[in-house]
Amino acid sequence: MSAEEYETHFPPLIAPEEVFPTARHLLRTCPVTHSEIDGGFWVINRYEDNLRVLQDWRNFAVGSPDGTSSIRVPYDPPGVNRPLFPPIDVNPPLHRQFREIINPYLSPQALAGHRAGFRRIIIDQIETFDRDGHCDLAGQLGKVFPARLTFEELFGIDDSDELTQVRKWIRSLTYDLYREEPAVLGGFQRRLNDWTLDLIAQRRKKTTVENLIDALVHGTVEGRPVTDAELVGTIQILILGGFSTTADATGNLIINMIEHRLEQELRDDHSLIPLFVEEVLRLDPPITARARRCTHDVELGGETLRAGDRLIVNFVAANRDEAEFDHPDEFELHRTRNRHLTFSGGVHRCVGSTMARMSLSIMMEELLRRIGDIQFAPGQREKRVSFSVGVWRAVDYLPITFTPLPR
Ligand code: HEM
């Protein structure tokens, strides 16, 4: 599809290699774009307009008007029946009450207490392949260590078979959402729900609150206990957030490090790693867009959006808007002003951003301590998938070669 066609036919699924050229084209020609696909939706491209949408939750809400289902672009395939995911699918004031339960477990102070545990898990995972001279960095590291951090450190679950099973369901329900038969996906979703309900039942029996799952299970919103249905959705969004986004960011970091020949500089000076992580997150956001619903008629970027219209905030385009970023398409390690929207903004701003930044930095430090001369495997490059407007450009496979460094 040509860039021009995206002005009216921005599709729900977009080829990974078309994401950046399309964003550039829309920013130049059509900053608020209306697509006729999937029942119609707006695409918001400029940084300033996206920030306004994210900060104005009264006019740009999440969830269906009756609060029972998500607002999605594209609509989910019928029959999958994904649950409502609080807090990402609910609006204030209920949204704030969920965040009040979750925030203390993901605050910088709380995460400081997990730093050593995160490092231990990351080292353990890297040491499964660091003597081999080659690996699939996505499959052997990116997709595994964030899931382990979430399960072992945040949730208090140590069973690796359970983790492997949940990772399989999550993979299908994200990467394969528009490829697999809806009936098959519906089956995976039901099994994931049953697993989550079992976890909730176990934790209800506990009298002590030791981790995030316990806090949710024993938590209250609106002066009542959190319901099982709400718990299923909240635990699953934490799993989705915790597993796949950091996985894709890991792949993007290694790809950018190789392409920009930064390995030695980063190894010699670990204080550069947080800057590097931030610039890669800006240029290559793992979640490239999110959906909202207009609650009233609103003027935005010269267009009139009507109450009930769906829209997506296009993080890729916002992060490359020259009105906000100097030389927006350039990789600049020492960029000083980097207020990217990769973690969104407003009330739904990612609750896991500190954990993501911390774990990605530790991953880079420990990887650079153990392997050197990191290259793409001869004749091969990463394989990406685009699996929905909301989450795309995942790094599914990243074959690399390297030299093991002395331990
Ligand atoms: C590089 C890694 C990550 C990226 C790029 C990312 C991105 C995002 C984005 C864009 C949103 C906002 C969605 C919206 O405005 O509609 C979000 C929300 C959220 N993220 Fe993350 N995330 C990351 C890591 C994590 C981690 C590690 C966790 C959990 C441990 C997490 C859990 C959540 C949750 C629960 C929400 C919903 C927040 C709310 O609605 O108030 N994320 N994330």
Out of 85, 98, 245, 314, give the residue to mutate to test ligand 1, the one with the largest number of ligand atoms within 8 Å of its CB: 245
User: By percentage, how much of the chain surpasses pLDDT 90?
Assistant: 83
Q: What pLDDT, on a 0 to 100 scale, did the predictor assign at position 388?
A: 63
The helix-helix angle for 353-370 and 273-283 (nearest 10°) equals 120
* Parallel, antiparallel or unpaired: strands 303-305 and 298-300: antiparallel
Indicate the average pLDDT of the chain.
94
**Ligand 1: residues within 6 Å at CB?**
87-88, 99, 150, 237-238, 241-242, 245-246, 249, 285-287, 290, 342-344, 348, 350-352, 355-356
Q: What is the mean pLDDT of residues 350-372?
A: 98
Q: What angle do CA 354, 356, 359 make, to 5 degrees?
A: 105
SS3 of residue 15 by DSSP = coil
**What does the pLDDT read at residue 335?**
95
- Residue 349 CA to ligand 1 center (angstroms) comes to 7
pLDDT tops 80 at residue 387: no
* pLDDT value, residue 392: 66
pLDDT at position 41 over 90: yes
The pLDDT tens digits of the residues spanning 188-199 come to 999 999 999 999
Alpha carbon distances (Å) from 110 to 105, 157, 195: 6, 18, 27
* Model pLDDT, residue 226: 98
pLDDT at position 131: 98
Phi and psi angles of residue 296, each rounded to the nearest 5 degrees, phi first: -140, 170
CA-nearest residue, atom 41 of ligand 1 = 348
pLDDT at 12 over 80: no
Contacts of 85 (CB under 8 A, 6+ apart): 70, 233, 234, 236, 237, 240
Q: Rounded to 5 degrees, what are φ and ψ at 382?
A: -65, 155
* CA atoms within a 13 Å half-sphere pointing along the CA-CB vector of 203: 24
Is the model's pLDDT at 24 over the cut of 70?
yes
In this predicted structure, what is the pLDDT of residue 391? 55
CB 100 within 8 A of CB 92: no
Across the range 345-351, mean pLDDT stands at 98
User: CA distances (Å), 291 to each of 49, 73, 287, 349, in order?
Assistant: 14, 6, 11, 13
Ligand 1: centre distance to CA 60 (Å): 18
From atom 11 of ligand 1, which residue's Cα is the shortest distance away? 350
CA-nearest residue for atom 37, ligand 1, is 88
Give the pLDDT mean for 150-154.
97
pLDDT in the model for residue 177:
82
pLDDT reported for residue 174: 84
Give 378 Cα–ligand 1 centroid separation in angstroms.
35
Which atom belonging to ligand 1 lies closest to the Cα atom of 346? 15
**CA 287 – ligand 1 centroid, Å:** 9
Phi, psi of 322 (to 5 degrees): -70, -15
Q: Under DSSP, is residue 309 helix (H, G, I), strand (E, B) or coil?
A: coil
Residue predicted with more confidence, 76 or 359 = 359
DSSP line for 85-137: -TTTT--TTHHHHHHHHHHHHHSHHHHHTTHHHHHHHHHHHHTTTTTSSEEEH
Distance 241 CA to ligand 1 centre (A): 5
- Residue closest by Cα to atom 20 of ligand 1: 350
The tens digit of pLDDT for each residue in 232-291 reads 999 999 999 888 899 999 999 999 999 999 999 999 999 999 999 999 999 999 999 999
pLDDT confidence bin for 15, thresholds 50/70/90: confident
Burial, 110: exposed, middle or buried (Cβ in 10 Å; 0-12, 13-18, 19+)?
middle
What is the reported pLDDT for 5? 78
Q: E strand or H helix at 255, and its extent?
A: helix 246-259
Are the C-beta atoms of 288 and 315 separated by less than 8 Å?
yes
- Over residues 137-143, mean pLDDT: 97
**Using CA positions, which residue lies closest to atom 19 of ligand 1?**
350
More confident position, 141 or 1: 141
What dihedral do alpha carbons 172, 174, 175, 180 form, nearest 10°?
50
- Rounded to two decimals, the pTM is 0.96
Determine phi and psi for 305, rounding to 5 degrees: -95, 135
Nearest atom in ligand 1 to 357's CA? 1
Residue 219 has pLDDT above 90, yes or no: yes
Ligand 1 atom closest to the CA of 248, numbered from 1: 1
Mean pLDDT of 208-227: 98
- How far is the centre of ligand 1, averaged over its atoms, from the C-alpha of 348 (Å)? 8
pLDDT confidence of residue 260 = 98
How high is the pLDDT of residue 72? 87
Q: State which H helix or E strand residue 294 sits in.
A: strand 289-294
| Model pLDDT for residues 77-125, shown as the tens digit of each residue | 888 899 999 999 999 999 999 999 999 999 999 999 999 999 999 999 9
CA of residue 113 relative to chain centroid, distance: 23
Q: What is the mean pLDDT of residues 165-183?
A: 88
The confidence band for 180, taking pLDDT boundaries of 50, 70 and 90, is: confident
In this structure, the residue with its CA closest to atom 43 of ligand 1 is 350
Rounded distance from Cα 380 to ligand 1 centre (Å): 31
How far, in Å, from the CA of 297 to the mean position of ligand 1?
28
